[in-house]
């Protein structure tokens, strides 16, 4: 570890801030070092927020992350449709869409490569036209050829690919249907979250009440844009957070859900080669249906 004696001008500053300054490493790598116990003050591992004192001996070991690689894995896929150009799958809740630091295996991409061996596009996101959050289940279309992936990508940007979600929310919206138009960006108070911000990227979500329960409701969502966590951020801002959302709402163990009660249930697009309209629907998983049943109670 590299030792550093804290000076008077550094007293009161967070340990991770000084380590980032001294090492020149991004905060994400400093955070990794903290989690490993590789940031120490006077020989003791400290939290990132630890306030340094004049004369402290700060030691740290910040390492570069191993490069990410998407490798084939033998993982079962729920395939609704497949031909030479496209693949439509129903992703289970709890599965990350593509490899990332903290989730390097067991992802949908690992499963796709195990099924197809190779896919066009980005090395870590091959074949992906769009994504779903880890705990959001439902439909995704995959481009199996360069041409298919390109045409589907163009269709997505032009909003010609239609996606509908089902979600269980806290409370019942005042209006049976409506539109949430709120730009989304990184939450300045918590970089792990997103929020509706004036200088964010445009984001539009249409919603409609499918069924109202005593204290909750099931909504249908239609997206015009595809921002990260869009539905979850918009509904939380609206005061009707998605049920069991660990980031924008609250976790409730009684429902037995792996995460937020959100499911991509309908998908429609023009086939990239034949131009035939393709429409798919997938029922929510049993955990979602169980939670929905619990909401029908009046207690």
> Which residues partner with 180 through β-bridges?
205
Catalytic residue among 16, 32, 90, 133: 133
Going 133 to 137 to 143 to 144, the CA torsion angle's sign is positive
Q: What is the Cα–Cα distance from 194 to 247, expressed in whole angstroms?
A: 10
What is each CA distance from 254 to 56, 138, 150, 175, 245, in whole angstroms?
Answer: 47, 22, 43, 28, 13
Query: In sequence order, which residues have a C-beta less than 8 Å from that of residue 48 and are 6 or more positions away?
Result: 14, 15, 16, 30, 31, 34, 39
- Count the Cβ atoms, other than its own, within 10 Å of residue 172: 16
Contact 60, 22 (CB under 8 A): yes
Q: Which two three-digit tokens encode residue 188? A: 């300045």
Is 299 annotated as catalytic? no
| Positions marked active-site | 133
């Amino acid at each position: 570890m590299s030792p550093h004696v804290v000076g008077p001008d550094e007293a009161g500053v967070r340990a991770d801030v000084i380590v980032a300054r001294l090492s020149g490493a991004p905060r994400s790598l400093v955070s990794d070092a903290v989690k490993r116990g590789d940031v120490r003050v006077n020989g003791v591992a400290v939290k990132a927020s630890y306030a340094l004192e004049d004369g402290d001996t700060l030691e740290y070991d910040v390492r570069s992350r191993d490069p990410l690689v998407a490798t084939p894995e033998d993982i079962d896929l729920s395939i609704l449709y497949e031909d030479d150009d496209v693949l439509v799958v129903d992703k289970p809740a709890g599965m990350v869409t593509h490899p990332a630091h903290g989730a390097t295996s067991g992802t949908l991409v690992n499963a796709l490569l195990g099924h197809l061996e190779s896919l066009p596009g980005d090395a870590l996101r091959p074949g992906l036209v769009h994504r779903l959050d880890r705990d959001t289940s439902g439909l995704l279309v995959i481009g199996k050829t360069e041409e298919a992936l390109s045409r589907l990508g163009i269709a997505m940007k032009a909003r010609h690919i239609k996606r509908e979600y089902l979600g269980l929310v806290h409370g019942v919206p005042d209006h049976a249907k409506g539109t949430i138009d709120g730009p989304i960006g990184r939450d300045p108070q918590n970089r792990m979250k997103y929020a509706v911000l004036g200088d964010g990227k445009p984001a539009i979500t249409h919603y409609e009440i499918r069924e109202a329960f005593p204290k909750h409701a099931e909504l249908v969502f239609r997206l015009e844009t595809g921002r990260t966590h869009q539905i979850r951020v918009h509904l939380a801002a609206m005061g009707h957070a998605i049920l069991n959302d660990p980031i924008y709402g609250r976790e409730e163990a009684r429902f037995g859900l792996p995460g937020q009660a959100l499911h991509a249930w309908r998908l429609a697009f023009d086939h990239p080669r034949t131009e035939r309209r393709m429409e798919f629907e997938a029922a929510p998983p049993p955990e979602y249906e169980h939670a929905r049943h619990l909401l029908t109670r009046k207690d």
